[in-house]
Amino acid sequence: MNKFQSRNFNKSIMYALNGVRLAFKSQRNFRKHLVIAICTLSIAFFLRVSLVEFCIILFANMFVLVVEMINSVVEFIIDAYYKNKWAKLAKLSKDIAAGAVLISAITSVTISFLIYGNKIYHLYYN
């Protein structure tokens, strides 16, 4: 077993929760996406979407948060490797990682609008 691997499941959970805490404390965009997720899920509750629709919205929102965390890791690794100096490959890598966050966020917004739009349409026109 590697010296960096945890032998205890509870410690592994604590390390993971610490990672989420660090993302929340250090990443402004993570906090923004989290607030948006809470608002989106509140709207889902208010509109009484079905369980399946709620799960889809929940998954889409959590996917954005996960991609945002992966983006942060990519940035940290690149900054460490290049010692915070500008490099073309570093810029390209960071831009691609940020693009992944953008695509996941656009997809999440699209999913939410489709579900909410359908729900609102049926509330007012049925």
Q: What is the pLDDT of residues 93-120, one digit of tens each?
A: 999 999 999 999 999 999 999 999 999 9
Read off the pLDDT of each residue in 28-56 and give the average, rounded to a whole number: 97
Give the global pTM. Answer: 0.89
Are the C-beta atoms of 22 and 91 separated by less than 8 Å? no
Are the C-beta atoms of 104 and 63 separated by less than 8 Å? yes
Architecture of domain 28-125: Orthogonal Bundle (1.10)
Q: How confident is the model at residue 3 (pLDDT cuts 50, 70, 90)?
A: low
Where exactly are the structural domains of the chain?
28-125
Are the C-beta atoms of 75 and 97 separated by less than 8 Å? yes
- Cα dihedral 14/17/18/20 (nearest 10): 170
Count the helices and strands in the chain (H runs, E runs): 4, 0
User: Is the pLDDT at 1 greater than 60, yes or no?
Assistant: no
**What is the predicted pLDDT for the residue at 7?**
76
**What is the predicted pLDDT for the residue at 126?**
76
Are the C-beta atoms of 53 and 8 separated by less than 8 Å? no
